Chains A and B, each alone.
Chain A
Amino acid sequence: EVQLQESGPGLVKPSQSLSLTCSVTGYSITSNYWGWIRKFPGNKMEWMGYISYSGSTSYNPSLKSRISITRDTSKNQFFLQLNSVTTEDTATYYCARRMVADYWGQGVMVTVSS
């Protein structure tokens, strides 16, 4: 069974970088597309971007200058880095498989606060 699990710090200071890991079991990340999605307080959802089976990436233009999605195929993990965070980046972050997301992680809540 495909399973995804996010991990990372739950608290990040403003202006710092947010770094999250998505660990995938039951399926190789060298197949398919792997993305990050976030849900803000109040339920608004935002697609952040993805990394493909080949390692190519696509990002939401609203984040393009701050976001990086990378991967470690040997560990079957992919990563999110979001730079220069502000309080507006406070959200629950999810990793998911495919653009029509058929498998999701449980999510990790990240608060940006000093």
Chain B
Amino acid sequence: DVQMTQSLSYLAASPGESVSISCKASKSISNYLAWYQQKPGEAYKLLIYSGSTLQSGTPSRFSGSGSGTDFTLTIRSLEPEDFGLYYCQQYYEKPLTFGSGTKLEIK
């Protein structure tokens, strides 16, 4: 299975700051990577797919980059509503696998 590693399990930042969340695959997955946001009481939200393509409805302050094994989700100018859990997921091969999640807390 492709192992997905999110090295940061927790991150705290203030509104207006920019943050980056990294995700590393154990083998090359090209750009078959998605990012999700989970907030308490809400359904998971697909933010980005194909490594860098914003899902419809995702604010433009979110961006994704990377290919191969190293990927980054960047949130520019944090808004208070951006708190939550962020997961990466590879869909290059089955079984699909997820990173361990990064909890973003707004200071």
Residues of A within 8 A of B (CB): 43-47, 58, 60-62, 94, 96, 99-107
Which of B11-19, B21-29, B43-51, B62-70 lines the interface with chain A?
B43-51
What's the Cα separation between A102 and B54 when bound, in Å?
Answer: 12
A104 near B100: Cβ-Cβ < 8 Å:
no
Q: Does B98 contact A (CB under 8 A)?
A: yes
Min CB distance A41 to B, Å, is: 12
- What are the residues of chain A within 8 A of B49 when measuring CB–CB? 100
Q: Does B77 contact A (CB under 8 A)?
A: no
Q: Does B96 contact A (CB under 8 A)?
A: yes
With A43-B85, A44-B100, A45-B87 known to touch, is A100 a contact of B95 (CB < 8 Å)? no
Contact among B85, B87, B91, B97 for A100, CB-based, below 8 A: B91
- What are the residues of chain A within 8 A of B44 when measuring CB–CB? 94, 96, 101, 104
Contact among B94, B95, B100 for A43, CB-based, below 8 A: B100
Min CB distance B68 to A, Å, is: 18
Q: Does B73 contact A (CB under 8 A)?
A: no
- What are the residues of chain A within 8 A of B55 when measuring CB–CB? 102
Min CB distance A46 to B, Å, is: 7
Which residues from 63 to 97 on chain B have a C-beta closer than 8 Å to any C-beta of chain A?
85, 87, 89, 91, 94-97
Min CB distance A35 to B, Å, is: 8
Of B42, B43, B87, B89, chain A has the most CB atoms within 10 Å of the CB of B43
What's the Cα separation between A43 and B101 when bound, in Å?
Answer: 7
What's the Cα separation between A71 and B101 when bound, in Å?
Answer: 31
A45-B87, A103-B43, A107-B43 are known; give 16 further A-B pairs, CB within 8 A: A44-B100, A45-B89, A45-B98, A46-B98, A47-B95, A94-B44, A99-B91, A99-B96, A100-B34, A100-B46, A100-B49, A100-B89, A100-B91, A101-B46, A102-B46, A104-B43
